[in-house]
Chains A and B, each alone.
Chain A
Amino acid sequence: MSSEVLWTLLAGFMTLAIFSFLYRDNPLYKIAEHLSVGVSIGFLVVTYYNNVFKPKVWETIFTHGQIDYLIPLALGLLLFTRFFPKVGWLSRWSLAFYIGGFSGLSIPSTLEGRVLQQTEGSIRSLYAEQAVGFWPTVLQSWDAIFLVVGTLACLVFFLFSVEHKGPVGKLAYFGRLCIMAGFGASFGYTVMARVSLLIGRIQFMTREFWEALRAAVS
Chain B
Amino acid sequence: MDFDRLFQSMLRLDRRIVYSLIFIAVTFPFYIAWPPFNVEVSKEVRSTYDIIEAIPPNGQPLLISIDYDPASAAELSPMLVAALRHAFSRDIRVLVISLQTTGQGAGIATQIVPAVAAEYGKKQNVDWAFLGFQPNPIVAMMAMGEDMRRAFPRDYFDTRYEEIPLLAGVQNYSQIPAVLTLASTAVGESWAIYPGSRYGLTVLAGLTAVYVADIQPFYQSGQIRGIIGGLKGAAEYEKLLERPGDGTAGMRSQKVVHYTMIIFIVLGNIAYLWTRRRRIA
Contacts and interface: CB of A to CB of B under 8 A. Distances in A.
Q: Do A and B bind each other?
A: yes
Nearest to B231: A196
A40 interface: yes
B209 interface: yes
A105 B138 CA distance: 9
Interface in B19-63: 19, 22-23, 26-27, 30
Tell me whether chain A's interface is mostly helix, strand or loop, or mixed.
Answer: helix
Contact of A121 (B213, B220, B249): B220
B230 A196 contact: yes
A52 B194 CA distance: 22
B146 to A, nearest CB: 11
A23 B27 CA distance: 18
A125 B154 CA distance: 48
Contacts of B171: none
Contacts of A26: none
13 contacts: A48-B135, A55-B153, A109-B194, A113-B197, A117-B197, A121-B217, A186-B213, A189-B210, A189-B230, A190-B210, A192-B258, A197-B71, A203-B74
Tell me whether chain B's interface is mostly helix, strand or loop, or mixed.
Answer: helix
Contacts of B75: 193, 196-197, 200
A193 B192 contact: no
Interface of B: 16, 19, 22-23, 26-27, 30, 71-75, 102-104, 106-107, 132-135, 138-139, 142, 153-154, 156, 192-194, 196-198, 208-214, 217-218, 220-223, 229-232, 246, 249-250, 253-254, 257-258, 261
Contacts of A147: 220
Contacts of A108: 198
A112 interface: yes
Contact of B209 (A23, A43, A55, A192): A192
Given A23-B16, A189-B209, A195 B257 contact: yes
Contacts of B250: 196, 199-200, 203
Given A51-B133, A200-B75, A192 B30 contact: no
Contacts of B133: 47, 51
Contacts of B211: 189
Contacts of A191: 261
Contacts of A162: none
B209 A190 contact: yes
B132 A51 contact: yes
A114 to B, nearest CB: 6
B221 A118 contact: yes
A155 interface: no
A189 B135 contact: no
Contact of A202 (B26, B72, B231): B26
A196 B254 contact: yes
A198 interface: yes
Nearest to B69: A40
Contacts of A120: 221
B197 to A, nearest CB: 4
A192 B254 contact: yes
Nearest to B191: A113
Contact of A105 (B142, B213, B249, B257): B142
